[in-house]
Structure 1
Amino acid sequence: MFPIRDHNPSGRTPYVVYALILINITVFLIQRPTMSDDVRLMQIYFDWALIPEQVSNGKMLHTLLTSMFMHGGWMHIAGNMLFLWIFGDNLEDEMGHFGFLLFYVLAGVGAALAQIIPDPLSKIPMIGASGAIAGVMGGYLLLFPKARVDVILIFIIFFKIFTVRAWVVLSVWFALQLFGGAAIDTTGGGVAYWAHAGGFVAGIILTTPLWLRRGAKRFWQAHAGHPPHPETKYRLSQSSIPRIRKRR
């Protein structure tokens, strides 16, 4: 089950979301030629990826930031940028451009710390924007729990697009991160589950002051748990079978 869009585009241009997507793609394209050279790739990881052991010893602290803009493959960056596109614009609309940028960075740092704490001596590099984007998802959940999100359900060779509430999609996603983090050895695995979970919680915490200033539950009631913009209507599917009217 994979979200593909929400029904509430932002009320103003999300310049920071655009900039973050552009920076991530640019860094990935620069990094891409080194992926076939293990020596060069490991050197890049050592210099710019987050290695818990280094950060725990007070070294390479810049990697708390730089690791957010590195990705390991096309699917890695495509999935992250899609989630940022879906959930980031409405948050930027509410927080303002600078406020959203600060929120994104702090959520990413919180996600990194959540991955470090369970195993501070790990030497496994961590890369990706997913921790910061998890923070965006957490903030979206707090502000717009009843927003409508289109998801695609893929089962072997069949797929179907349907609409669900944001709280369902994001709650299921968060539960999967907790399950994944508990199921694997924290010194191994290819997914930083604790960074995802930590970023999500950090996003909720960082968004709480804004939610309270907006009136907390009154903000939900005023907009029915949706972003404060007119909802976009999508035609999810169109049948090729013509309609036949019944004669009376």
Structure 2
Amino acid sequence: MRDYEPPPHRGPLEPWPDTEYDAALHLLDRQIVARDGRLVGKVDDVELTVDPDGALVPTGLLVGGAALLPRFGGRLGSWLSARHEQIAVARADRTTPYVVDIGLVDGVSSEVHVSELREGLLARRTPDPEGPTRHRLGELLEMEVRMPAGSTGRSKVHVLDVKITPDAGTQHVSALVVGPGRPGSLLGYDRRDDQGPLLVAAVVRRLHRHARVVELGHDVDIVWATGEVRVGPGATIRPLRG
């Protein structure tokens, strides 16, 4: 096989991994490209691992129907996942997605570039009851967020995205973007003032004027069992823009 070296890739996350980014906006549904320039698959979800101090650390890019279908959420997501499982009932790993270790990512542009060749790149994460606790970004997205009274101007908000911050060579989830609507509905218009078209940007920002950034830490509790985030009055909450 020819050892192809693609040209340098420039994108919103340069230099990787030392740039803060929004996981859903910058990773989900982007094509993964191997070092030989070949397509691997799309990022269907992101694996989040709980480290010893309780922080959420992105550790893998999840690929395949077992990762994608639960993201539809609610009854539809459950129904699609059940149908996917029934297609190959003889396979014990049918509900386990493929994973690409996030340490292999060497850049993100309109695609996610990894440092290995495509051959043999995808593998399944063997469940380990004694290993670290792992969650998926898709579990967080759309969780209902119980906010302190008067903090958003809306009675009901959900998790729209999560902010990933570099920290001494690693990355961790530092904050939640919360607001009305659905994940992806911000369309990146919260990132820059010059994002266009200007009319679309104005409409999106108007619709999401109640969105907030909730920093993880004091008085913020992600309750995975019930699918909700509880934010107390002592939490650090700031506007999405400004």
Q: Which bracket does the TM-score occupy, shorter chain normalised?
A: under 0.3
Which has the greater radius of gyration? 1
* Bigger helix fraction: 1
Q: Which structure has the highest strand share of the two?
A: 2
